[in-house]
Amino acid sequence: MLNVVVLYGGKSTEHEVSVHSAQTVCQILARQKDKYQIYPIFITKEGHWFLQQHCGFQTPQDKAVIPLLQADANVAARDGSWKIKADVVFPVLHGTNCEDGTMQGFLETLNVPYVGCGVLASAMGMDKEISKIMAARAGAPVLPYRVVSKFKEYNKTELEEWVVQAGLPVFVKPVRLGSSVGVRKVKKLSQLHEAVAFALQFDTDVMVEKGVDHAREIFCAIYGDEDNVKSSACGELRSLAGEFFDYEAKYITVGGCETKVPADIAEKTARKLRQDSENIFRALRGSGLARVDFLMDQEGNYYFSEINTLPGMSQTSLFPQLFEACGEDYSLILQRLIELARKRYRQKESLSLSR
Ligand SMILES: Nc1ncnc2c1ncn2[C@@H]1O[C@H](COP(=O)(O)OP(=O)(O)O)[C@@H](O)[C@H]1O
Ligand SMILES: [Mg+2]
C-alpha cells in the first residue's frame, strides 16, 4: 500500500482549474483501494496546506498541515496530532509557483518522490522562449519572435520594424504565465506598445510572436520517460467565443470552446506532430507527463506553441481524452506516472553524494 499525497489549488491563476483536475485524479486513484491510500491536500492561494476528507475547495473541517523533512514523516498536522510519510506526491497543480519548477524544487528538498517533470524540465517548460529554443533544436517548426524586458530599455522603432517585416497580426504575451493572462492579439502597429506594456504588468519578459491568423490549435499529450515516451492522438480545440483562446473562452464563457478528438488533420501531419512532441519532451528532459500545444495555419503548416508539464487532468480535460482516443486507460496512466516517479527517485538515490 502506497501513501499518495495529492497536492492541488496553489498560488496560481489556475488555482480553480487545479482543484477540478485533482478531483478526477483522487477519484480514479481511490478506486484502487488495495494499492493506494490517498491524502488530498489543498494549498490555499496564500500557500498554506490543508488535509481534506474529500478533494475539493476549502471547508471548515480541513486540517491545517505542514510539509516537513523527517526520517519517518514528510507531512504533519500543524497541531502535532498526526503525521504521515508519503511514498509519493502527486502534484496536480498548474501555472506559476506550481508547474514552473518551484514546487518541484521544494519536493526535491523534502526528499520525496513526486509525479511529473523535474525542476529543470518544469522551469524550461514554463518559459515560452527557452522551450521554443529547445523545440527548434529538436527539429520542430517554431514561429519567429522577439523578447523585450521590463528593466531593459528596448528600441521601439526596431521592434516596430521587426513587426512590419514579420507581418501583422502579432501576439504579445508574458514569457512565463498561462491561462492566456496578459495575452493580446495586435492587429495594428499602433496597438503594439500598449500591448507590450500590458503584458509587462504580469512578467518581466514579454514575447512578441508572429501571429497565425485564424489559427487552429492542435494538442498532443505525452507520458513516459527517457526510456519510453508515448504520444497520444492529436486533438483540436476551437475557440467559439473570440478571436483567440483568451481567458474568457477558456474558463468563463459557457461553450466558449469546442473539443475535437482526434483532430481532423492529415494522417501524415499527425504522425509528424506526434514525433515532434516526443522529441520536444525529450529535449526538455521531460519525465512523467506533458501536453504539447501547436498552432496550425490555413495551409496545414503547424508550429510549436508551448508545452504544459502539468496539463489539465480532469475528466473533461484534453490529457485523458487524447489518450483514451488511442485506447489507453486513464487509470493505468496515472498508475504508471506514480511508478515513474518512484523509479526516478530510486535512480537519484543511487547517486553518490561524496567524492
Ligand atoms: N502566435 C500566435 N498566433 C496565433 N494565436 C496565438 C499565438 N500566440 C498565442 N495565440 C493565442 O493565444 C492563446 C494563448 O497563448 P499561449 O501562448 O497558449 O499562452 P498561455 O500559456 O497563456 O496558454 C493561444 O491558445 C492562442 O489562441
Ligand atoms: Mg496555451
Looking at 32-36, 150-154, 195-199, 270-274, which range is the least confident one?
150-154
Confirm or reject: Cβ of 303 under 6 Å from ligand 1: no
Residue 62, pLDDT above cutoff 80: yes
Residue 298 grid coordinates: 490555413
Confidence of residue 309 (pLDDT cuts 50, 70, 90): very high
- Give residue 178's pLDDT: 82
113 preceded by cis ω (within 30°)?
no
Residue nearest to atom 16 of ligand 1 (CA): 180
Cβ–Cβ contacts within 10 Å for residue 81, how many? 8
Residue nearest to atom 14 of ligand 1 (CA): 180
- Give residue 298's pLDDT: 93
How far CA 127 is from CA of 62, 288, 350, in Å, comes to 34, 19, 30
Residue nearest to atom 8 of ligand 1 (CA): 171
- Give residue 247's pLDDT: 74
pLDDT in tens, 106-165: 999 999 999 999 999 999 999 999 999 999 999 999 999 999 999 998 899 999 999 999
User: From CA 21, how far away is CA 291, in angstroms rounded?
Assistant: 14
Residue nearest to atom 19 of ligand 1 (CA): 180
- Give residue 354's pLDDT: 87
CA–centroid distance, residue 180 to ligand 2 (Å): 6
Where helices occur in the chain by DSSP H, the ranges are 15-30, 102-109, 119-126, 128-137, 156-166, 192-199, 247, 267-283, 318-324, 330-349
Q: 190-223 burial, b if ≥16 CB within 10 A, otherwise e?
A: ebbbebbebbbebbebbbbbbbbeebbbbbbbbb
Residue 68, pLDDT above cutoff 90: yes
CA-CA-CA-CA torsion for 268, 274, 275, 280, nearest 10 degrees? Answer: 140
| 205, 305, 306, 308, best to mutate for ligand 1 pocket (most atoms within 8 Å of CB) | 305
* Nearest ligand, measured from the Cα of 239: 1
- Give residue 258's pLDDT: 85
Confidence of residue 38 (pLDDT cuts 50, 70, 90): very high
Beta strand 2-9 pairing with 88-91:
parallel
Confidence of residue 257 (pLDDT cuts 50, 70, 90): confident
User: From CA 232, how far away is CA 219, in angstroms rounded?
Assistant: 9
Query: Can you tell me which atom of ligand 1 is nearest the CA of 293?
Result: 18
- Give residue 245's pLDDT: 80
Residue nearest to atom 2 of ligand 1 (CA): 211
- Give residue 353's pLDDT: 87
Where helices occur in 49-204 by DSSP H, the ranges are 102-109, 119-126, 128-137, 156-166, 192-199
| 295, 317, 318, best to mutate for ligand 1 pocket (most atoms within 8 Å of CB) | 295
How far CA 39 is from CA of 43, 56, 86, 247, 285, in Å, comes to 13, 12, 9, 31, 29
Residue nearest to atom 1 of ligand 1 (CA): 211
Structural domains for the chain: 2-114 (3.40.50.20), 124-141+214-346 (3.30.470.20), 145-210 (3.30.1490.20)
Residue 331, pLDDT above cutoff 90: yes
- Give residue 304's pLDDT: 98
Residue 29, pLDDT above cutoff 80: yes
User: Left, alpha or beta for 349 (phi > 0: left; psi -120 to 50: alpha)?
Assistant: alpha
Confirm or reject: Cβ of 13 under 6 Å from ligand 1: no
Confirm or reject: Cβ of 215 under 6 Å from ligand 1: yes
Residue 227, pLDDT above cutoff 80: no
| 244, 297, 298, best to mutate for ligand 1 pocket (most atoms within 8 Å of CB) | 244
Confirm or reject: Cβ of 216 under 6 Å from ligand 1: no
- Give residue 21's pLDDT: 96
Provide mean pLDDT across the span 244-253. Answer: 74
Residue 241, pLDDT above cutoff 80: no
CA–centroid distance, residue 45 to ligand 1 (Å): 25
Confirm or reject: Cβ of 178 under 6 Å from ligand 1: yes
